Structure 1
């Protein structure tokens, strides 16, 4: 541990300056809440090393309601003792020694983090605790998003499905990748390996990225990809939705052939590679195929039963050809999906955004436009 660790413990406060430092510098965090609490929402650098399991916490909570705090504390010490206590303290100690710049916290900065800190200190490993806990840090991020977002000019990058918007976006000097934070490509076929974060976890990560952006770039224009209010099951915060709907829109336009090729690469080749990396060749292909079938089934109502069955047959034919070394057969169902589902939906949605379009062009032209800082600074807001 660092020599000034005791001073850090004494000096930790729940003011915005401390939280700004924690999030800007990705300080490692021990989250001592129960696993169920952690799963509902956490911070990107937090590791769940709970003081109590979900079951233990439930028992202590019931005891607290019936018999008060003293009885609950006594029960907690009875449940977490001996080898159980030693294992949990050892896990905290390993983390603290590996990450001396970190902190620990519980929900409100109360008994659980105080006990965890006390037990760590007794091992000769003092570690700073965040006063106010998860609740205070979460409140800080909510206020940061609501107060700072309106001050950051947004520019929205749009285009039809398959225009490689995300590839263009992530090559720009100033952007936040909403789909990356949501771990989802945004469409019915956009599911990615690893699943999506909890809604609160998504919001936390988004606001931390905004905080970092603001400290690095000030209030320079920020480019975001055009998204609906949902990216998979992660919902954009309402304040962000409102700002995006008033921001200038830049459209990237590519040929149908290019769009098919991009979608083939992203949704077929890349998704299969990720699936096989996780589950192995045979099982990975099975997971990959089941995911595409499920995605296609979500479009059944919009496509109609007959057309859905026809496209499903093309999908199954694509799987058979894929196993025979002809994965490009998938393009036979990707192309009609564009013509019959994605493009009509895009055209309809674009009618509501025509007044916000400030530029449109091919990938190279849009890339040059979005890198022209003087132009971006002059763009209007469509309130």
Structure 2
């Protein structure tokens, strides 16, 4: 018989299946990558029990909980736990603090003929464990930052590194003002949990080896890098990936036109998806209008509108024109300005082949 656990590290390193018995609203605020929400109580039931607890105490609240989750409702929830537990015999269940809710679920499963262990301390203890791990990683782990002009295919190169920590992939965003993805982003807490778990896996699978992270601003879309990580990254050595304007234009065209339009159309259907894609492009350019300045914004906006009309007529290649202008006149000067402030941190620079060779040597 497996016993309850406080070995949070093993849970995360091994992608252990987890049953999260918290209410859906709690799960939506933040959860773990390998957790499925099979709640003991719905949001309304939890709210009613919470109010009863404040007004009448624990015993009355427990009585109300058993009254609300009874009969067929109770049977359905037990059956959901049983099905998941039998499909994932190495898993665990948890609630917020490892208290009454997970104990009740565990007891009801036992009464149904299945012993299933729970995580002691629950979600709160696991979350605190991850935050402590992040602090320690930032102190102990050698971190390198992969930098380069917008469009230089940093993410593609990074993904060739074993157990890469892909910040943009975890945030489900391509990083720039145009980086929004059709299926949205995780919550801030989900982003942090996934990020720290990825960093833990790299640290334990590649002890003593540097961790390479892509150069990012504080925000990746609406996901904010944890402050301690952002401070660490701001001081870490830089590797500069060099790529010429035409190559970067082509990469951006593939990413932000071909792939992005396909994502929107897959998400919302061909016609509506195409219109959402066009709206996304316009909104993204509008968000950087102040930094562009009125004259430059108007110029690039007109290029974009011309490309949109050509795209509607079946030719999507005209997008390269406004992409080239935006890279040359907006992103490149901004990157060059920032680069001059941090030139002393650069430990290597070169094209994709040279950078891959440099990184491979570090991993050996």
Answer yes or no: same fold by TM over 0.5: yes
- Normalising by structure 2, report the TM-score: 0.96
Q: Tell me the distance in 1 between the aligned counterparts of 2:36 and 2:183.
A: 17
Moved more, 97-106 or 308-317: 308-317
Displacement of 1:37: 0.8
Moved more, 135-144 or 299-308: 299-308
Moved more, 20-29 or 362-371: 362-371
1:13 aligns with one of 2, 5, 13:
5
Asked whether the 8 Å contact 2:245–2:328 carries over to 1, the reply is no
Q: In structure 2, what is the equivalent of residue 103 of structure 1?
A: 92
- Which consecutive segments of 4 or more residues in structure 1 shift more than 3 A? none
Q: Tell me the distance in 2 between the aligned counterparts of 1:226 and 1:108.
A: 36
Q: Which runs of 5+ in 2 are unaligned?
A: none
1:87 aligns with one of 60, 76, 82:
76
Displacement of 1:38: 0.8
1:296 aligns with one of 285, 288, 300:
285
Asked whether the 8 Å contact 1:174–1:222 carries over to 2, the reply is no
| SS of equivalent to 1:245 | helix
Q: Tell me the distance in 1 between the aligned counterparts of 2:305 and 2:70.
A: 56
Displacement of 1:357: 0.8
Displacement of 1:306: 4.0
Map of 1:176-195 to 2, 5 A cutoff? 176-195=165-184
Q: In structure 2, what is the equivalent of residue 381 of structure 1?
A: none
Q: Tell me the distance in 2 between the aligned counterparts of 1:294 and 1:86.
A: 49
| SS of equivalent to 1:38 | helix
Q: Tell me the distance in 2 between the aligned counterparts of 1:298 and 1:257.
A: 24
Asked whether the 8 Å contact 2:97–2:122 carries over to 1, the reply is yes
Q: In structure 2, what is the equivalent of residue 355 of structure 1?
A: 344
Map of 1:186-335 to 2, 5 A cutoff? 186-335=175-324
**Which whole-Å deviations, capped at 9, do the CAs of 1:154-196 have from their partners, x for residues lacking one?**
1111000000000111112353111111111111001113211
Q: In structure 2, what is the equivalent of residue 164 of structure 1?
A: 153
Displacement of 1:308: 2.4
Q: Tell me the distance in 1 between the aligned counterparts of 2:296 and 2:354.
A: 37
- Normalising by structure 1, report the TM-score: 0.92
Root mean square deviation, CA, Å: 1.5
The alignment status of 1:35 with 2:24, answered yes or no, reads yes
Q: Tell me the distance in 2 between the aligned counterparts of 1:156 and 1:44.
A: 25
**Which whole-Å deviations, capped at 9, do the CAs of 1:318-365 have from their partners, x for residues lacking one?**
222112221111112111111222112111211221110111111111
Displacement of 1:202: 1.0
Q: In structure 2, what is the equivalent of residue 3 of structure 1?
A: none
Q: Tell me the distance in 1 between the aligned counterparts of 2:163 and 2:197.
A: 15
Distance 1:316 1:85, change over 3 A: farther
Aligned residues: 364
